[in-house]
Structure 1
Amino acid sequence: MLTIDLNIIGKRIKQARLNKKFTQQDLADRCGFTKSLLSKIENGQTASAVATLSKIADNLETPLSWFLEENEQQNLILLPSNNRTQKIGNKEMGYMYERLANRSRFSKIEPVLVTVPPDSEGIDPYTHSEEEFIFILSGAINLWYDGESHLLKEGDSAYFNGSMPHIFKPVSDQEAKVLTVFVEPSD
Protein backbone atom coordinates (compact mmCIF):
# COMPACT_ATOMS: atom_id res chain seq x y z
CA MET A 1 0.00 0.00 0.00
CA LEU A 2 1.31 3.46 -0.96
CA THR A 3 1.73 5.90 1.91
CA ILE A 4 1.49 9.53 0.92
CA ASP A 5 3.37 12.10 2.96
CA LEU A 6 0.90 14.81 4.00
CA ASN A 7 3.73 17.34 4.36
CA ILE A 8 4.74 16.85 0.70
CA ILE A 9 1.14 17.26 -0.46
CA GLY A 10 0.81 20.39 1.68
CA LYS A 11 4.04 21.90 0.35
CA ARG A 12 2.97 21.26 -3.23
CA ILE A 13 -0.43 22.85 -2.66
CA LYS A 14 1.23 25.89 -1.09
CA GLN A 15 3.73 26.12 -3.97
CA ALA A 16 0.91 25.97 -6.53
CA ARG A 17 -1.15 28.53 -4.60
CA LEU A 18 1.75 30.99 -4.36
CA ASN A 19 2.54 30.47 -8.04
CA LYS A 20 -1.03 31.57 -8.80
CA LYS A 21 -0.57 34.52 -6.39
CA PHE A 22 -3.56 33.40 -4.28
CA THR A 23 -3.76 33.97 -0.55
CA GLN A 24 -5.02 31.10 1.57
CA GLN A 25 -8.32 32.98 1.89
CA ASP A 26 -8.58 33.41 -1.91
CA LEU A 27 -8.13 29.68 -2.51
CA ALA A 28 -10.39 28.66 0.38
CA ASP A 29 -13.17 30.91 -0.95
CA ARG A 30 -12.80 29.51 -4.47
CA CYS A 31 -12.96 25.95 -3.12
CA GLY A 32 -15.84 26.60 -0.74
CA PHE A 33 -14.14 25.70 2.52
CA THR A 34 -12.46 27.53 5.39
CA LYS A 35 -9.04 29.13 5.46
CA SER A 36 -8.37 27.08 8.60
CA LEU A 37 -8.88 23.79 6.73
CA LEU A 38 -6.62 24.93 3.89
CA SER A 39 -3.95 25.97 6.40
CA LYS A 40 -4.07 22.53 8.05
CA ILE A 41 -3.78 20.83 4.64
CA GLU A 42 -0.82 23.00 3.61
CA ASN A 43 0.93 22.33 6.93
CA GLY A 44 0.42 18.55 6.65
CA GLN A 45 -1.76 18.49 9.77
CA THR A 46 -4.75 16.78 8.23
CA ALA A 47 -5.50 14.23 5.55
CA SER A 48 -7.97 15.36 2.91
CA ALA A 49 -10.55 13.52 0.93
CA VAL A 50 -9.72 13.15 -2.74
CA ALA A 51 -12.75 15.35 -3.49
CA THR A 52 -11.20 18.17 -1.42
CA LEU A 53 -7.82 17.78 -3.12
CA SER A 54 -9.58 17.66 -6.49
CA LYS A 55 -11.29 21.00 -5.78
CA ILE A 56 -7.94 22.51 -4.83
CA ALA A 57 -6.29 21.11 -7.96
CA ASP A 58 -9.09 22.42 -10.20
CA ASN A 59 -8.89 25.92 -8.74
CA LEU A 60 -5.10 25.94 -9.06
CA GLU A 61 -5.30 24.54 -12.61
CA THR A 62 -2.92 21.79 -11.57
CA PRO A 63 -3.35 18.05 -12.18
CA LEU A 64 -4.43 16.21 -9.03
CA SER A 65 -1.77 13.59 -9.79
CA TRP A 66 0.98 16.20 -9.30
CA PHE A 67 -0.02 16.60 -5.64
CA LEU A 68 -0.03 12.85 -5.12
CA GLU A 69 3.18 11.85 -6.93
CA GLU A 70 5.76 10.03 -4.87
CA ASN A 71 8.77 11.86 -6.28
CA GLU A 72 10.11 14.96 -4.60
CA GLN A 73 10.68 18.12 -6.60
CA GLN A 74 14.24 18.12 -7.89
CA ASN A 75 16.60 20.85 -9.05
CA LEU A 76 18.40 18.45 -11.41
CA ILE A 77 16.45 16.01 -13.51
CA LEU A 78 18.45 13.40 -15.41
CA LEU A 79 16.49 11.29 -17.83
CA PRO A 80 18.48 8.53 -19.53
CA SER A 81 17.01 7.58 -22.90
CA ASN A 82 15.93 4.15 -21.65
CA ASN A 83 13.88 5.80 -18.86
CA ARG A 84 11.95 8.26 -21.04
CA THR A 85 8.23 7.87 -21.40
CA GLN A 86 7.06 5.97 -24.41
CA LYS A 87 6.06 7.88 -27.47
CA ILE A 88 2.63 9.44 -27.28
CA GLY A 89 0.57 9.69 -30.44
CA ASN A 90 0.36 7.84 -33.72
CA LYS A 91 0.20 8.44 -37.46
CA GLU A 92 -3.49 9.32 -37.25
CA MET A 93 -2.65 12.12 -34.79
CA GLY A 94 0.08 13.25 -37.16
CA TYR A 95 3.01 13.08 -34.75
CA MET A 96 4.60 10.99 -32.08
CA TYR A 97 5.82 12.87 -29.00
CA GLU A 98 8.49 11.83 -26.53
CA ARG A 99 8.98 13.97 -23.43
CA LEU A 100 12.67 14.69 -22.87
CA ALA A 101 12.39 15.80 -19.23
CA ASN A 102 10.07 15.09 -16.37
CA ARG A 103 9.84 18.80 -15.72
CA SER A 104 8.65 20.58 -12.65
CA ARG A 105 4.95 21.41 -12.69
CA PHE A 106 5.93 25.09 -12.59
CA SER A 107 8.65 25.09 -15.20
CA LYS A 108 7.96 27.47 -18.06
CA ILE A 109 9.53 25.18 -20.68
CA GLU A 110 8.91 21.65 -21.89
CA PRO A 111 11.31 19.91 -24.28
CA VAL A 112 9.82 17.26 -26.54
CA LEU A 113 11.12 15.09 -29.37
CA VAL A 114 8.55 15.11 -32.18
CA THR A 115 8.65 12.40 -34.85
CA VAL A 116 6.85 13.36 -38.05
CA PRO A 117 6.03 10.17 -39.98
CA PRO A 118 6.18 10.36 -43.80
CA ASP A 119 2.49 9.54 -44.19
CA SER A 120 0.94 12.13 -41.83
CA GLU A 121 -0.52 14.39 -44.53
CA GLY A 122 -4.21 14.71 -43.59
CA ILE A 123 -3.77 16.45 -40.24
CA ASP A 124 -5.28 19.90 -39.62
CA PRO A 125 -3.31 22.81 -38.15
CA TYR A 126 -3.79 23.48 -34.45
CA THR A 127 -3.02 26.17 -31.86
CA HIS A 128 -1.83 26.26 -28.24
CA SER A 129 -0.96 28.96 -25.72
CA GLU A 130 2.80 28.34 -25.58
CA GLU A 131 5.52 29.83 -27.73
CA GLU A 132 7.45 27.15 -29.59
CA PHE A 133 11.09 26.69 -30.59
CA ILE A 134 11.91 23.92 -33.06
CA PHE A 135 15.20 22.51 -34.33
CA ILE A 136 15.22 19.93 -37.11
CA LEU A 137 17.42 17.03 -35.94
CA SER A 138 16.95 14.86 -39.02
CA GLY A 139 14.91 14.84 -42.19
CA ALA A 140 12.87 17.82 -43.32
CA ILE A 141 9.43 19.28 -42.69
CA ASN A 142 7.15 21.89 -44.11
CA LEU A 143 6.17 24.13 -41.22
CA TRP A 144 2.70 25.37 -42.09
CA TYR A 145 2.30 28.54 -40.06
CA ASP A 146 -0.65 30.91 -40.35
CA GLY A 147 -1.43 29.70 -43.87
CA GLU A 148 2.14 29.79 -45.22
CA SER A 149 4.53 26.91 -45.85
CA HIS A 150 8.18 27.09 -44.77
CA LEU A 151 10.64 24.32 -45.74
CA LEU A 152 12.94 23.42 -42.82
CA LYS A 153 15.78 20.91 -43.24
CA GLU A 154 18.20 19.26 -40.84
CA GLY A 155 19.95 21.95 -38.78
CA ASP A 156 17.26 24.62 -39.41
CA SER A 157 15.28 26.16 -36.56
CA ALA A 158 12.25 28.37 -35.97
CA TYR A 159 10.66 30.19 -33.05
CA PHE A 160 6.99 31.13 -33.17
CA ASN A 161 3.84 31.97 -31.29
CA GLY A 162 1.73 28.82 -30.87
CA SER A 163 -1.55 30.76 -30.88
CA MET A 164 -1.41 30.94 -34.69
CA PRO A 165 -2.56 27.82 -36.63
CA HIS A 166 0.44 25.62 -37.41
CA ILE A 167 1.48 22.06 -38.16
CA PHE A 168 4.53 20.07 -39.26
CA LYS A 169 4.04 18.27 -42.59
CA PRO A 170 6.40 15.62 -44.02
CA VAL A 171 8.46 16.54 -47.05
CA SER A 172 9.53 13.13 -48.32
CA ASP A 173 9.04 9.44 -47.65
CA GLN A 174 11.38 9.65 -44.64
CA GLU A 175 10.37 10.56 -41.13
CA ALA A 176 11.67 13.76 -39.57
CA LYS A 177 12.83 14.26 -35.97
CA VAL A 178 12.20 17.68 -34.49
CA LEU A 179 13.43 18.94 -31.12
CA THR A 180 10.56 21.07 -29.88
CA VAL A 181 10.66 23.30 -26.82
CA PHE A 182 7.34 24.69 -25.62
CA VAL A 183 7.78 27.94 -23.70
CA GLU A 184 4.98 29.35 -21.56
CA PRO A 185 4.61 33.07 -22.25
CA SER A 186 5.54 35.48 -19.47
CA ASP A 187 2.62 36.94 -17.55
Structure 2
Amino acid sequence: METGQAYVEIAPRLLGLREAVGLSVDELAAKIGVRPETVNLYEEGETEIPVSYLKDVANACGVDITSLISGHEAHLHDYTLVRKGQGLSVARRADYDYLHLASRFTNKRMEPFLVTVPPKDENELVWNEHGGQEFIYILKGRLEIWLDQRRHELEPGDSIYFDSKIPHALRGLDEAEAVFLDVIS
Protein backbone atom coordinates (compact mmCIF):
# COMPACT_ATOMS: atom_id res chain seq x y z
CA MET A 1 0.00 0.00 0.00
CA GLU A 2 1.39 3.41 -0.90
CA THR A 3 1.89 5.91 1.90
CA GLY A 4 -0.72 8.32 0.57
CA GLN A 5 -3.43 5.66 0.47
CA ALA A 6 -3.36 4.32 4.03
CA TYR A 7 -5.50 6.95 5.70
CA VAL A 8 -7.98 6.79 2.81
CA GLU A 9 -8.49 3.09 3.59
CA ILE A 10 -8.48 3.53 7.37
CA ALA A 11 -11.01 6.41 7.45
CA PRO A 12 -14.09 4.32 6.53
CA ARG A 13 -13.07 1.74 9.13
CA LEU A 14 -13.05 4.49 11.76
CA LEU A 15 -16.50 5.70 10.69
CA GLY A 16 -17.89 2.17 10.48
CA LEU A 17 -16.55 1.21 13.89
CA ARG A 18 -17.93 4.33 15.55
CA GLU A 19 -21.33 3.70 14.02
CA ALA A 20 -21.22 -0.04 14.86
CA VAL A 21 -20.69 0.67 18.56
CA GLY A 22 -23.43 3.31 18.49
CA LEU A 23 -21.37 6.41 19.30
CA SER A 24 -22.02 9.86 17.88
CA VAL A 25 -19.08 12.01 16.80
CA ASP A 26 -19.46 14.06 20.00
CA GLU A 27 -19.59 10.96 22.21
CA LEU A 28 -16.45 9.43 20.68
CA ALA A 29 -14.63 12.76 20.88
CA ALA A 30 -15.48 13.06 24.59
CA LYS A 31 -14.42 9.45 25.23
CA ILE A 32 -10.96 9.87 23.73
CA GLY A 33 -10.37 13.50 24.66
CA VAL A 34 -10.35 15.20 21.27
CA ARG A 35 -12.56 17.78 19.57
CA PRO A 36 -15.47 16.53 17.43
CA GLU A 37 -13.81 18.27 14.47
CA THR A 38 -10.84 15.93 14.88
CA VAL A 39 -13.08 12.85 14.69
CA ASN A 40 -14.73 14.20 11.52
CA LEU A 41 -11.37 15.10 9.98
CA TYR A 42 -9.97 11.58 10.36
CA GLU A 43 -13.20 9.89 9.26
CA GLU A 44 -13.20 11.92 6.03
CA GLY A 45 -9.93 10.29 4.87
CA GLU A 46 -8.29 13.47 3.67
CA THR A 47 -5.38 13.67 6.13
CA GLU A 48 -2.83 11.45 7.84
CA ILE A 49 -4.09 9.76 11.01
CA PRO A 50 -1.74 9.47 14.00
CA VAL A 51 -1.24 5.93 15.28
CA SER A 52 -1.99 7.26 18.78
CA TYR A 53 -5.46 8.32 17.58
CA LEU A 54 -6.07 4.84 16.14
CA LYS A 55 -5.00 3.31 19.43
CA ASP A 56 -7.35 5.58 21.41
CA VAL A 57 -10.32 4.82 19.13
CA ALA A 58 -9.60 1.09 19.23
CA ASN A 59 -9.46 1.14 23.05
CA ALA A 60 -12.62 3.24 23.35
CA CYS A 61 -14.52 0.91 21.01
CA GLY A 62 -13.17 -2.36 22.42
CA VAL A 63 -11.32 -3.56 19.32
CA ASP A 64 -7.70 -4.21 18.46
CA ILE A 65 -5.81 -1.49 16.59
CA THR A 66 -4.96 -4.10 13.95
CA SER A 67 -8.55 -4.10 12.73
CA LEU A 68 -8.36 -0.36 12.05
CA ILE A 69 -4.95 -0.51 10.36
CA SER A 70 -5.40 -3.64 8.24
CA GLY A 71 -9.12 -4.36 8.22
CA HIS A 72 -8.46 -7.80 9.77
CA GLU A 73 -8.82 -8.92 13.36
CA ALA A 74 -5.85 -10.00 15.46
CA HIS A 75 -6.28 -13.64 16.46
CA LEU A 76 -3.27 -14.89 18.45
CA HIS A 77 -3.66 -15.16 22.23
CA ASP A 78 -0.49 -16.80 23.57
CA TYR A 79 2.27 -15.20 21.51
CA THR A 80 3.11 -13.82 18.11
CA LEU A 81 6.40 -14.29 16.30
CA VAL A 82 7.42 -11.67 13.75
CA ARG A 83 10.43 -12.43 11.58
CA LYS A 84 12.87 -9.72 10.50
CA GLY A 85 11.18 -7.26 8.15
CA GLN A 86 7.82 -9.03 8.38
CA GLY A 87 5.81 -6.71 10.66
CA LEU A 88 2.58 -5.15 9.43
CA SER A 89 3.54 -2.07 7.41
CA VAL A 90 1.67 0.95 8.68
CA ALA A 91 2.02 3.38 5.81
CA ARG A 92 0.23 6.21 7.58
CA ARG A 93 2.73 9.06 7.43
CA ALA A 94 4.83 10.37 4.61
CA ASP A 95 7.75 11.18 6.91
CA TYR A 96 8.05 7.95 8.99
CA ASP A 97 8.07 4.24 8.11
CA TYR A 98 6.31 2.03 10.71
CA LEU A 99 6.25 -1.77 11.06
CA HIS A 100 3.79 -3.00 13.68
CA LEU A 101 5.51 -5.85 15.53
CA ALA A 102 2.51 -7.43 17.27
CA SER A 103 -0.42 -6.88 14.91
CA ARG A 104 -1.70 -10.47 15.16
CA PHE A 105 -1.77 -10.57 18.97
CA THR A 106 -5.09 -9.82 20.69
CA ASN A 107 -5.70 -7.72 23.80
CA LYS A 108 -2.35 -5.94 23.69
CA ARG A 109 -1.45 -3.59 26.54
CA MET A 110 1.18 -1.86 24.41
CA GLU A 111 1.82 -1.29 20.71
CA PRO A 112 5.39 -2.08 19.53
CA PHE A 113 6.65 -0.61 16.26
CA LEU A 114 9.90 -0.61 14.34
CA VAL A 115 10.18 2.99 13.12
CA THR A 116 12.48 4.51 10.53
CA VAL A 117 12.78 8.31 10.55
CA PRO A 118 14.62 10.08 7.73
CA PRO A 119 16.93 13.04 8.14
CA LYS A 120 15.34 16.44 7.63
CA ASP A 121 15.90 20.09 8.36
CA GLU A 122 14.86 21.36 11.78
CA ASN A 123 12.20 23.59 10.17
CA GLU A 124 10.55 20.44 8.70
CA LEU A 125 9.89 18.79 12.08
CA VAL A 126 6.40 17.34 12.52
CA TRP A 127 5.09 17.71 16.10
CA ASN A 128 2.86 15.12 17.78
CA GLU A 129 1.19 14.77 21.14
CA HIS A 130 -1.19 12.10 22.33
CA GLY A 131 -2.29 10.22 25.41
CA GLY A 132 -0.25 7.44 26.96
CA GLN A 133 3.44 6.89 27.34
CA GLU A 134 6.18 6.06 24.86
CA PHE A 135 9.45 4.14 24.99
CA ILE A 136 12.08 4.53 22.25
CA TYR A 137 15.21 2.36 21.93
CA ILE A 138 17.68 3.34 19.20
CA LEU A 139 18.91 0.51 16.94
CA LYS A 140 20.66 2.31 14.07
CA GLY A 141 21.71 5.86 13.25
CA ARG A 142 21.36 8.92 15.43
CA LEU A 143 17.99 10.38 16.41
CA GLU A 144 17.15 13.88 17.50
CA ILE A 145 14.05 14.03 19.67
CA TRP A 146 12.45 17.22 20.87
CA LEU A 147 10.29 17.02 23.99
CA ASP A 148 8.60 20.40 24.04
CA GLN A 149 11.57 22.81 24.04
CA ARG A 150 14.18 20.23 25.16
CA ARG A 151 16.39 18.68 22.51
CA HIS A 152 18.04 15.28 22.96
CA GLU A 153 20.37 13.29 20.70
CA LEU A 154 20.23 9.50 20.96
CA GLU A 155 22.62 6.90 19.55
CA PRO A 156 22.34 3.11 19.18
CA GLY A 157 21.77 1.58 22.60
CA ASP A 158 20.25 4.79 24.03
CA SER A 159 16.62 4.89 25.11
CA ILE A 160 14.08 7.42 26.28
CA TYR A 161 10.73 6.97 28.05
CA PHE A 162 8.31 9.89 28.14
CA ASP A 163 4.74 11.06 28.64
CA SER A 164 3.31 11.27 25.12
CA LYS A 165 1.20 14.31 26.03
CA ILE A 166 4.44 16.30 25.80
CA PRO A 167 4.68 17.75 22.28
CA HIS A 168 7.43 15.79 20.54
CA ALA A 169 9.17 15.71 17.16
CA LEU A 170 11.84 13.43 15.67
CA ARG A 171 14.42 13.45 12.91
CA GLY A 172 17.43 11.43 11.78
CA LEU A 173 20.81 13.12 12.18
CA ASP A 174 24.02 13.09 10.12
CA GLU A 175 22.03 13.02 6.86
CA ALA A 176 21.01 9.42 7.64
CA GLU A 177 17.85 7.71 8.80
CA ALA A 178 17.40 6.59 12.39
CA VAL A 179 15.83 3.20 13.17
CA PHE A 180 14.33 2.48 16.57
CA LEU A 181 11.95 0.36 18.56
CA ASP A 182 8.96 2.45 19.63
CA VAL A 183 6.54 1.08 22.22
CA ILE A 184 3.36 3.07 22.85
CA SER A 185 1.08 2.39 25.79
TM over 0.5: yes
- 1:20-169 equivalent positions in 2, closer than 5 A: 54-56=19-21, 58=23, 61-62=61-62, 66=67, 69=72, 72-81=75-84, 83-86=86-89, 88-89=91-92, 93-102=94-103, 104-119=105-120, 121=122, 122-169=124-171
**Percent of aligned pairs sharing the same letter:** 29
Tell me which moved more, 110-119 or 68-77. Answer: 68-77
1:113–1:57: structure 2 CA closer, same or farther, 3 Å change rule? farther
Q: Distance in 1 between matches of 2:17 and 2:139?
A: 45
1:123–1:117: structure 2 CA closer, same or farther, 3 Å change rule? same
Under a length normalisation based on structure 2, what TM-score does the superposition of the two structures give? Answer: 0.59
Runs (4+) off by over 6 Å: none
Q: Which runs of 5+ in 2 are unaligned?
A: 1-15, 29-59
Q: Which runs of 5+ in 1 are unaligned?
A: 1-50
User: Match for residue 54 of structure 2?
Assistant: none
Q: Distance in 1 between matches of 2:159 and 2:61?
A: 32
Asked whether the equivalents of residues 144 and 169 of structure 1 are also in contact (C-alpha less than 8 Å), the reply is: no
Q: Which protein has the larger Cα radius of gyration, Structure 1 or Structure 2?
A: 1
Higher helix share: 2
Q: Distance in 1 between matches of 2:99 and 2:166?
A: 23
Under a length normalisation based on structure 1, what TM-score does the superposition of the two structures give? Answer: 0.58
**1:152 to partner: Cα distance:** 0.8
1:52–1:143: structure 2 CA closer, same or farther, 3 Å change rule? closer
**1:96 to partner: Cα distance:** 1.0
